[in-house]
Chain A
């Protein structure tokens, strides 16, 4: 491994728990991550997938049963949390209720024994940075959720941590504030260039803030890449279903008449842009296509499939269709549809597919 370009190296860490019912289970299993300096990496997955456990092991709040963790090439696995120089933002913020905003932000600096005037300067700067100048003497009980979030952020970054860690920091905020705060967090992180690991179960949030996303399930990493990678080229049905909405149709691996890889499904053969490695003809597979890549053909356009409109839901900027095609139910989304383009229920229509958006995923339907 080239350690120069890796700020955080998670080398096959595992963590086992004794579950009261299930016995011994892996909360994290052989997790491997490399985070570049200044990179914003997000661990994404459903509840219990091991993302928080992994984050807490990076922080030093949990000790891995196996594997090592390196910061800038230094092995920190055996260092307690207070010697790792990390910034951690908790889901519930964990503001010290008996300390003012200023003292909360100053805490890490006081622990480090900085002089009073240096502390006052740094805290003043960081509070201004998060938009809380003037809040110094307030207490957390007097702050709104968004303000508490900013204090937690200020407290974590003022110590200039080697790695900034977020554990579902926005889940206690309302939807509007969540969107606003994620932009602020991303802007701040870019400006300060701090290597960041962020945990969330919200795929949209993950796509909005991250340079790179690591999808986890059942304690293991199932795929990592940019948002586009995961969206357009998911490696599994789990990733395809977790990131965005998707149509999955059972079919069989085959070749199109002109010899390209394809899938026999919906009563026809459809060419695919993405094919899993090691696929053999005749394998049971899933045809994957995103709703927005599936369109109702307008008059005169060639149509690969015929379908019946089951429902048409007008949502302003978009229209959602539920279609019935060769015994399967398909979702289709059309953006910016004009008023004349709405297709009512019961009408038989032709369907077009963007060929580069058709993928084949291994396996039968779960």
Chain B
């Protein structure tokens, strides 16, 4: 038996199919994964993401610590509540995890890291935090709900008092705020507008049911995966891990090298990669024939190179198969993918495939 979020009993009562995800028993779908996917693209859905690990960092040197720990630069964070997406690298430039960091004050930041990497992340963070005298506190008292879709913000805000509602709806993209005893951030992992809400665990059930009551559909991790892949967002463990660096994982844009004096873990390794030129790149694939792209399928590039699908699925919005794949660098327009012994034609595209309900590729 895996770990349970505060919503486990509710998921069971709503008929969810539960699967192991990073050591947690999590809902993969309720009635129909495709219907849940469409609910988020067209209206609003809610996901239980309480398995993700929330870590609060406190200390006089917290900003300085994070500028050393993370490949993106928290020096960019000026406004209270502002969020930043970053990789946390090892010394060889491999990705230990990807995470969101929220800026509360120069001495208070919050990290949200993946569930499956919790143990190694905490170990790594604590090890380096010692040198900066940072207090590292895991917030197991919080549940987290992702409410996503074009109607998600309005419907979530309707649960708040009039004054709080206004504050929540005024949040710009990628900014969060403490509103009553919730932390509400305008972030997500679906390519749609919406909120991620961190709230006391004992409020999770009543909040979920209140969202359902105003038409927000319960969604499982299955739909979360098809939504994030359509949005061209990486999944840790599939699309990057400790054996790959950001430049071959479509994450070069998250590495901040501008400030030449900022030392961060992995910087020297990444600069060697840049000097030599990354040998591989992560691209989007659109399958041009019938079938479904899946992770680990072999990709054949014209001229002889090979690569691999890192994430693949059937896109409910595009009604065809899409993927992310790591292939030799060099701007090829077409590749072939080996599926059950057959070679099928695919076209390379620049992700995302879908954003804010609109197909961006055809």
A binds B: no
- Interface residues of chain B, those whose CB is within 8 Å of chain A, are none
- Interface residues of chain A, those whose CB is within 8 Å of chain B, are none
